[in-house]
């Protein structure tokens, strides 16, 4: 054997060994691809299962209109308008969808009502994005304390959503602290404590008889900085009865956060229960006046037949949905994906 061949084999192994390594690398790469594909399929399956109620209602409404008419005319569009409103899509948005559908029908010379389904699905995507890229990821950066402020009415699924978000971040190797600053409800603090233990997050609770949420936030930020936490999630009281008190309370909390961590909170998330329909939109307007918001977490989507609320929130409030709750399990709170949502909502109408 020549010197160079011996030296190469010593450094890199024999040709057979090099080939084996290449094969192993290729297998690992394919395995990664396969795993990614499985995750994608699993996510889509969760969307389809979680949106089954909304999908059934939406497809029934559209099919009813299609079956009633044998051609596309003004009467057809009037019935279609009503069907979209029944799905909890705002009147303003419905008008835009109908106008866009009319333009497409005219341009493509379409007369068969059965062909309108794909146009509707396409317009829902176009109108939601309005030519922009929808980013539903959280503003979490390495090398800083990331603060997430969470607001929402009692019973909206706020506590469980906080736990589920914490769980996701912990899975991404983030060190998470939760501040139980809903001091007016002892039950909320207890529930959050149970959930924090379940998902492996640390928690700061109010001291006995401590009712000032801002004091809890102050302590939580100090601990988060001292113990080098990556993320601090702050729960707040969800009382809408007194708007002035709510605004004052959130303003005080925001001032403390900004003073101790300039530029924070990095996310201000509003939790909305999807089953409340238009009431959820009203709540969003009140909270938006009370504090700056960066996105929506829409819970209990699997429990509603009115799937249009996501579109209405974006249109009425100007906020995108960051997370969508599609079931009870911790894994069922998913980052919002527009394509999966539209597919889950409209599947079966083509």
Q: Distance between CA 87 and CA 54 in Å, rounded?
A: 8
Q: Distance between CA 46 and CA 331 in Å, rounded?
A: 9
Residue 332 annotated as lining a ligand binding site: no
Q: Distance between CA 176 and CA 229 in Å, rounded?
A: 6
Q: What is the pLDDT of residue 8?
A: 62
Q: Residue 129 has which token pair?
A: 């994005």
Q: Distance between CA 83 and CA 310 in Å, rounded?
A: 16
Q: Distance between CA 139 and CA 135 in Å, rounded?
A: 10
Q: Residue 250 has which token pair?
A: 């959130």
Residue 347 annotated as lining a ligand binding site: no
- Residues of the chain falling short of pLDDT 70: 1-12, 131, 240-242, 350
Q: Residue 137 has which token pair?
A: 């990821």
Q: What is the pLDDT of residue 224?
A: 98
> Is residue 346 within 8 Å of 121, Cβ to Cβ?
yes
Residue 25 annotated as lining a ligand binding site: no
Q: Residue 307 has which token pair?
A: 């799937």
Residue 126 annotated as lining a ligand binding site: no
Residue 1 annotated as lining a ligand binding site: no
Residue 88 annotated as lining a ligand binding site: no
Residue 235 annotated as lining a ligand binding site: yes
First to last CA, the chain: 68
Residue 155 annotated as lining a ligand binding site: yes
Residue 237 annotated as lining a ligand binding site: yes
Q: Distance between CA 314 and CA 308 in Å, rounded?
A: 10
Secondary element (H or E) of residue 151: strand 146-151
Residue 159 annotated as lining a ligand binding site: yes
Q: Distance between CA 54 and CA 272 in Å, rounded?
A: 17
Q: Distance between CA 310 and CA 36 in Å, rounded?
A: 27
Torsion of CA 61, 122, 77, 107, to 10 degrees: -150
Residue 299 annotated as lining a ligand binding site: yes
Q: What is the pLDDT of residue 131?
A: 67
Residue 156 annotated as lining a ligand binding site: yes
Residue 200 annotated as lining a ligand binding site: no
């Amino acid at each position: 054997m020549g010197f160079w061949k011996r030296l190469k084999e010593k450094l890199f192994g024999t040709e057979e060994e090099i080939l084996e390594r290449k094969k192993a690398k290729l297998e690992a790469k394919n395995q990664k691809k396969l795993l990614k594909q499985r995750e994608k399929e699993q996510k889509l399956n969760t969307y389809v299962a979680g949106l089954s109620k909304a999908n059934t209602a939406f497809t029934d409404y559209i099919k009813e209109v299609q079956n009633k008419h044998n051609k596309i005319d003004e009467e057809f569009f009037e019935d279609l308008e009503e069907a979209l409103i029944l799905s909890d899509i705002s009147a303003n948005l419905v008008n835009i969808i109908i106008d866009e559908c009319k333009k497409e029908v005219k341009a493509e010379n379409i007369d068969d009502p059965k062909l309108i389904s794909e146009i509707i699905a396409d317009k829902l995507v176009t109108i939601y994005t309005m030519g922009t890229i929808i980013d539903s990821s959280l503003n979490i950066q390495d090398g800083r304390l990331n603060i997430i402020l969470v607001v929402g009415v009692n019973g909206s699924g706020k506590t469980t959503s906080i736990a589920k978000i914490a769980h996701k971040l912990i899975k991404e190797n983030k060190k998470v602290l939760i501040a139980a600053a809903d001091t007016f409800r002892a039950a909320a603090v207890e529930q959050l404590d149970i959930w924090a233990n379940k998902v492996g997050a640390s928690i700061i609770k109010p001291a006995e008889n401590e009712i000032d949420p801002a004091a809890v936030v102050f302590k939580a930020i100090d601990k988060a900085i001292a113990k080098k936490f990556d993320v601090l999630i702050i729960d707040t009281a969800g009382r809408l009865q007194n708007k002035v008190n709510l605004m004052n309370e959130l303003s005080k909390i925001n001032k403390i956060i900004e003073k101790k961590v300039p530029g924070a909170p990095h996310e201000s998330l509003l939790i909305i229960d999807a089953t409340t329909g238009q009431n959820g939109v009203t709540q969003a307007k009140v909270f938006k006046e009370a504090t700056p918001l960066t996105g929506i977490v829409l819970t209990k989507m699997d429990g509603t037949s009115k799937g249009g609320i996501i579109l209405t929130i974006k249109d009425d409030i100007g906020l995108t949905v960051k997370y969508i709750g599609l079931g009870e399990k911790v894994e069922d709170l998913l980052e919002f994906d527009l394509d999966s949502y539209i597919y889950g909502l409209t599947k079966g109408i083509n």
